Amino acid sequence: MPTSPDPRIDSHSKATTVSSGASRLGQDLRQGRNLDLYIAVTVAVVTAALGVLGVVDSSILAASTLAVLAVMAISGLATRHEVDGVRTALNRIAASETGEVAAERFLSSHPPAVDTEIATATDIAIVGITLTRTVRDMLPVLDRRLRAGARVRVVLIDTDSGANAEAVARSKKADTPEFYRNRVSATLDLLRVLASSGSSESALQIRLLPFVPTFGLLLVDADDVHGRIRVAMYQHRTLEPNPTFGLRADRDAWWYGLFKGQFETMWESAREREPGTGGHAARGGSN
């Protein structure tokens, strides 16, 4: 025979629920939360009561109803925005867990100065189109490193191969191949100044690419466990700065190895140029 629930337990449960509701109401009012909903409920209850008692006419009831509905709609929109914000935050957390990061945290249009990175380097490699500004800015530190016995390898385009015409087709700041021919010539003049700083004839090596690289590279002690690589992605027909990013041998093993290998590929694809005499040599590299 089924037993009836204990009325004392049921009344206690109801009392607990009411007490909890009152506590939540008081907390919301003290903290200013959900005030729009409480006002809407109050207006709705008072208007309904007055309507039942015949104190207000139908037009006031209709207006009050629309006002309450408007408040409810606004509250619903606010809730939806909050849910969207939570969803966005969760997506960011999920992306960070899978290795995805915001582009602003990875790419930079203003890379840090390289003097500090290469101040103690023993092996430096640079790839670029003309490298005029890069070599000019790095001239003092490259001179110091060469005098200290470091090896410096530089790769830029070969203007005798037609690469300068290819560079013009991709550029917005040049309209003739002579623009790149002059800039490469200026870079070679600067490197010629450095040639006497090396501890040996092979300390400074220059090679010329028969094509335009799609990205620039700066490798610092690339074979070392703490090696660094900075990559600059070259753009097409824009004056905006090139986005760059950095790689570390002890952190980005796979990508680090990829770009390190890319340098060696370009190095082997280029022909050697003697920095001291300005002449061309056949040894090393291929066209």
CATH code at 142?
Answer: 3.30.870.10
Most distant pair of Cα atoms in the chain: their distance: 112
Q: Which of 270, 278, 254, 276 is nearest to 125 (CA)?
A: 270
Tell me, yes or no, whether 149 and 259 share the same domain: yes
Are 120 and 253 in a shared domain?
yes
Do both 160 and 264 map to the same domain?
yes
Identify the domain containing residue 12 by its residue range: 7-99
Place of tokens 């410096």: 152
Q: Are residues 149 and 260 in the same domain?
A: yes
Q: Is residue 20 part of a domain?
A: yes
Taking a C-beta distance cutoff of 8 angstroms, is the pair 133, 185 a contact? no
Let me know if residue 283 belongs to a domain.
no
Same domain membership, residue 124 and residue 69: no
pLDDT digits (tens, 9 = 90+) for 34-81: 556 666 666 666 666 665 555 556 666 666 666 666 666 666 656 666
Query: How many percent of the chain have pLDDT more than 90?
Result: 46
pLDDT in tens, 259-287: 999 999 999 999 999 876 444 443 344 33
**Secondary structure letter of residue 225 according to DSSP:** T
Let me know if residue 265 belongs to a domain: yes
204 pairs with which residues across the strands?
Answer: 152
Structure tokens that stand for 39 in this block: 């006002």
Q: Are 57 and 195 members of one domain?
A: no
pTM: 0.64
Clarify whether residues 159 and 260 are in a common domain.
yes
Q: What percentage of the chain's residues is helix, strand, coil (to nearest 5)?
A: 55, 15, 35
Residue 284 falls inside a structural domain: no
Residues 43 and 70 in one domain: yes
| pLDDT for 194 | 93
Burial 173-183 (b: 16+ CB within 10 A, else e): ebeebebbbbb
Claim to verify: residue 117 and residue 88 sit in the same structural domain = no
Q: Which residue has the tokens 């800015």?
A: 137
Residue 286, in any domain of the structure:
no
Q: Are residues 115 and 243 in the same domain?
A: yes
Q: Do 87 and 137 share a domain, yes or no? A: no
Contact 194, 277 (CB under 8 A): no
